A and B are shown apart, each in its own frame.
Chain A
Amino acid sequence: MSIAESIYLLMFSSGLLGGIGHCAGMCGPVVAAYTLGFRLPADDIRASSLPQLLYNAGRVTTYSVVGGIMGMTGSFAGVVTYIERFQNMTMAVVGGIMIVLGIASAGLISWRVHDAGSRVTAPVSGFISRVIQFVSQTHTPGSVYVIGMATGFIPCGLLYTAYIAAAGAGATAGHPAEGFLKGMAMLFLFGIGTTPALFFIGHMAARKGEWIRKRLYMLSSLMMTAIGVIFIYRAFRG
């Protein structure tokens, strides 16, 4: 096996290992939250798998493009300076969405726009209900893919290491285009490697979601809200 081939295999295995040892704990709550929020059908495996695949495809797309840019420039520190603020903003937005979904699934505010105003003041609940409706009831494949793309920007130490490797490979490439392709391929394989663990979490959340909602709905809602608060705290701490 050539050195180039072993780098790609290493990226895939790093994603696979990291998916279990890192992503499941760090990004698992996000996957579980959007799965619970989307109320994916538990009995129809095909219907619940498609959004999971699209979500992961969106995430891998972001990784691949940013990895390509890292490879093209050959500089991790140079590129990350530009995307760091956007990453923190994404984390804050995802945290906000989790808080809204958590509060809504606890039944503290209404899911539907026409019910708004029953529990909190009308203008606020109207706005929040619209946000909830947008987040939770927009089930088109495109929207799931876009959510996946956005969450691909959440700051992550494991992902940074993969970007560092892509930038390193790009630095030794003969041409920026070659560096771009190398970086993109490396992050694509890394992202594919992380997919099984997150797919499994999403699938389990979809299957057990109804059970959790029926029995522990307040606990799961509070957890979702608290994790959202932690995300916002981490985003603003920098």
Chain B
Amino acid sequence: MKKIIMILIAVLMLVSRPPRAHASDCDVDRGPCVAVTGRTEVTLDISPKPVKAMKELFFVVTVRGANVRGPLLLELSMPGMYMGRNEVALKRSPEGSFSGRGVIPRCPTGGKLWQADLTIPGTGRLTYRFHVDR
């Protein structure tokens, strides 16, 4: 009986635990996340802060060192857990940055780490990882 209970606990821990922990790239609550590809520096900022799940968020991307044409696409996902396709269309603002609105859903498993994949036409794809408040 003890063996069965131990197996049961192990199975449950495996099934119910949050997705495997990955290191976050930046603390998005403190400031923008920065990624560099070649000579291009791309920052991603999310507001309002602290960044919370299930709230409407404002995403701003600033590209330095490259001439970007066309809209940017930001894909939000949770590492280790399929959460469907969650895309934020970023449009160019008069200041030259790209912005758009989106929502990060809450995962009932308790996972807080999220990933934003930014596709920049002609430059490539950049990945940001950050923690989100539940």
A residues in contact (CB < 8 Å) with B? 10, 14, 17-18, 21-22, 25-26, 29, 75-77, 80, 84, 91, 155-158, 160-162, 164-165, 218-219, 222-223, 226-227, 230, 234, 237-238
Contact pattern, B 74-116, Cβ under 8 Å of A = 1, otherwise 0 = 0000100111111000000000000000110111111000000
Given A84-B54, A237-B110: A14 and B84 within 8 A (CB)? yes
Which of B10-18, B31-39, B65-73, B120-128 makes up part of the contact surface? B10-18
Residues of A within 8 A of B16 (CB): 227, 230
10 tightest A-B contacts by CB?
A160-B105, A161-B84, A21-B82, A157-B107, A77-B56, A22-B82, A161-B86, A157-B83, A14-B84, A157-B105
Q: Which residue of B lies closest to A77 (CB)?
A: B56
Residues of B contacting A: mostly: mixed
Contact pattern, B 3-42, Cβ under 8 Å of A = 1, otherwise 0 = 0110111011001100000000000000000000000000
Q: Which residue of B lies closest to A222 (CB)?
A: B8
Extra inter-chain contacts (13) besides given A77-B55, A164-B102, CB under 8 Å: A22-B81, A29-B15, A75-B56, A77-B103, A84-B54, A160-B105, A164-B105, A219-B8, A222-B5, A223-B12, A226-B9, A227-B12, A230-B12
Docked complex Cα distance between A226 and B106 (Å):
23
Q: Which of B1, B12, B85 contacts A161 (CB 8 A)?
A: B85
Q: Once the chains bind, are A25 and B83 in contact (CB under 8 Å)?
A: no
* A14 CB to nearest B CB, Å: 5
* B44 CB to nearest A CB, Å: 19
Q: Once the chains bind, are B82 and A160 in contact (CB under 8 Å)?
A: no
